């Protein structure tokens, strides 16, 4: 029977699934009437849109999933009792069946056993495109997290070595993930491919008066671009290594968004990420910030060409020295020491396109419509 799972139409054999051996991470299948409930929730967020934009500019995490607030598990794994119960209360709030769906899943005794994906391994002769396809399959097999609770806390200000520790935790736990977690996992799984350069690409789109954010891991190898990631939508994550320029890759994503009636407003592109898993440097998430709706097609192409040149220049720069073994021990696991240093990139180092818009009154969302979340 066709159902809508957090905005995506697909077929489920069962109205609920548990996706891991611990019983966390269910696919909350929603009937077609769920759109209005989602829309009401999204409309209630419009009053805080300006504040969220300020937080985003300061490097804070966007704790919304397609306009719907979500919870981040900050207590590490296994999930503590408080976070566990908070997750189920959140499910009861956002699911159209309310508490009934939580009781139905938690009370079930015959839930199917979910297979645990295996981290891909390769022969020395395996080509880079085939390796990337295997990594994408692994990310997809973990499945998209529809629970409303992100299981791994990703702080963008943490050093690369701390984020790689979280990626290792993802492979051990095999829990469903969201798009930012998939980017960190993609970096981890491609660290041993020195000929593959990786960089983050963030998208901000608009639909029916609300803004939506998504992120993928850009890939550059052998003179071609591609992408790794996860999304509810098949055409908003993996892109094979076949795009001649960064502009061609971006156009592919923009076309996909148009198919869901989303307007691409802003793109943020980072620098190449170090292949050293013990590097203490931070990922540069937004070296170029492009206001797509302010740029002509030619201007956008030139900005992307300029960014490509900037990324190539970084390859020749030596990375900061990695910490010694004793120093790494002192740093500890990021899941057990959340107080990692908050070091922000200077705004003067970012490349901005266009001037910041004056705040405009936002049109009211269509209450009879459906919030398409991507």
* pLDDT per residue as tens digits for the range 120-165: 999 999 999 999 999 999 999 999 998 889 999 999 999 999 999 9
pLDDT(326) > 90: no
Q: What is the pLDDT of residue 19?
A: 35
pLDDT(81) > 70: yes
Mean pLDDT along residues 309-332: 63
Mean pLDDT along residues 103-132: 92
Q: What is the pLDDT of residue 71?
A: 86
For residues 209-245, one letter each, b for 16 or more C-beta atoms within 10 angstroms of the residue's C-beta and e for the rest, the string is: bbbbbbbbbbbbbeebbbbbbbbbbeebbbbebebee
Tell me the C-alpha to C-alpha distance, in Å, between residue 165 and each of 200, 277, 289, 319, 325: 18, 9, 28, 19, 15
Q: What is the pLDDT of residue 111?
A: 85
Which residues, 6 or more positions from 123, have their beta carbon under 8 angstroms from its beta carbon? none
pLDDT-derived band of residue 112, with 50, 70 and 90 as boundaries? Answer: confident
Q: Give the separation between CA 176 and CA 359, rounded to whole angstroms.
A: 37
pLDDT(282) > 80: yes
- Please state, rounded to an integer, the average pLDDT across all residues of the chain: 77
Q: What is the pLDDT of residue 139?
A: 98
Look up the pTM and report it: 0.72
Mean pLDDT along residues 255-259: 97
Per residue in 23-64, pLDDT (tens digit) is 333 333 333 333 333 323 332 322 333 333 433 433 334 455
List the structure tokens of 28.
């909350």
Mean pLDDT along residues 247-270: 97
Q: Give the separation between CA 280 and CA 191, rounded to whole angstroms.
A: 15
281 contacts 159 by C-beta, under 8 angstroms:
yes
Tell me the C-alpha to C-alpha distance, in Å, between residue 245 and each of 179, 229, 294: 23, 19, 21
pLDDT(362) > 70: no
pLDDT(9) > 80: no
The set of catalytic residues is 179, 214, 231
Q: Is 283 exposed, middle or buried (0-12, 13-18, 19+ CB in 10 A)?
A: buried
Mean pLDDT along residues 239-249: 97
Q: What is the pLDDT of residue 107?
A: 86
Q: Give the separation between CA 75 and CA 90, rounded to whole angstroms.
A: 17
Sign of CA dihedral 27, 33, 37, 43: positive
Q: What is the pLDDT of residue 346?
A: 44
pLDDT(353) > 70: no
Mean pLDDT along residues 192-215: 95
Q: What is the pLDDT of residue 374?
A: 58
Helices (H), ranges, the chain:
34-43, 49-57, 81-94, 99-106, 128-142, 160-173, 179-189, 246-258, 297-315, 325-331
Residues present in the chain in total: 374
Q: Give the separation between CA 12 and CA 16, rounded to whole angstroms.
A: 8
Element (DSSP H or E) covering residue 30: none
Nearest CA to 62 out of 266, 202, 224 is that of: 202
Which residues, 6 or more positions from 29, have their beta carbon under 8 angstroms from its beta carbon? 3, 4, 5, 12, 15, 16
Beta bridge partners of residue 65, listed in sequence order = 68
Q: What is the pLDDT of residue 95?
A: 87
Q: Give the separation between CA 167 and CA 159, rounded to whole angstroms.
A: 13
Nearest-5° Cα angle at 352, 356 to 252: 105
């Amino acid at each position: 029977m066709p159902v809508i799972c957090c905005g995506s139409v697909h077929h489920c054999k069962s109205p609920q699934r548990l996706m891991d051996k611990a019983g966390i991470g269910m696919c909350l299948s929603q009937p077609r009437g769920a759109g209005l409930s989602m829309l009401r929730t999204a409309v209630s967020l419009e009053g805080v849109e300006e504040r969220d934009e300020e937080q985003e500019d300061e490097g804070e995490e966007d704790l919304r999933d397609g306009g719907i607030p979500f919870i981040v598990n900050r207590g590490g794994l296994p999930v503590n009792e408080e976070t566990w119960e908070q997750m189920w209360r959140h499910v009861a709030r956002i699911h159209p069946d309310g508490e009934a769906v939580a009781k139905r899943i938690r009370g079930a005794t015959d839930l199917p056993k979910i297979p645990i994906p295996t981290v891909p391994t390769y022969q020395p002769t395996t080509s880079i495109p085939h390796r990337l396809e295997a990594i994408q399959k692994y990310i997809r097999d973990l499945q998209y997290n529809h629970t409303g609770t992100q299981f791994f806390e990703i702080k963008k200000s943490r050093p690369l070595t701390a984020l790689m520790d979280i990626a290792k935790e993802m492979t051990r736990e095999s829990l469903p993930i969201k798009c930012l977690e998939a980017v960190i996992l993609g970096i981890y799984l491609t660290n041993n491919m020195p000929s593959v350069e990786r960089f983050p690409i963030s998208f901000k789109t608009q639909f029916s008066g609300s803004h939506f954010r998504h992120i993928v891991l850009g890939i550059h190898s052998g003179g071609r671009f591609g992408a790794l990631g996860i999304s509810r939508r098949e055409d908003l994550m993996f892109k094979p290594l076949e795009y001649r320029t960064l502009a061609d890759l971006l156009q592919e994503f923009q076309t996909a968004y148009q198919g869901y009636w989303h307007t691409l407003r802003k793109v943020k592109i980072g620098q190449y990420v170090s292949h050293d898993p013990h590097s203490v440097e931070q990922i540069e998430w937004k070296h170029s910030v492009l206001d797509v709706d302010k740029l002509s097609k030619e201007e956008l192409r030139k900005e992307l060409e300029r960014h490509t040149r900037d990324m190539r220049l970084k390859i020749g720069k030596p990375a900061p020295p990695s910490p010694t073994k004793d120093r790494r021990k002192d740093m500890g696991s990021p899941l057990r020491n959340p107080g990692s240093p908050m070091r922000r990139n200077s705004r003067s180092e970012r490349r901005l396109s266009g001037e910041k818009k004056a705040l405009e009154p936002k049109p009211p969302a269509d209450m009879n419509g459906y919030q398409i979340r991507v």
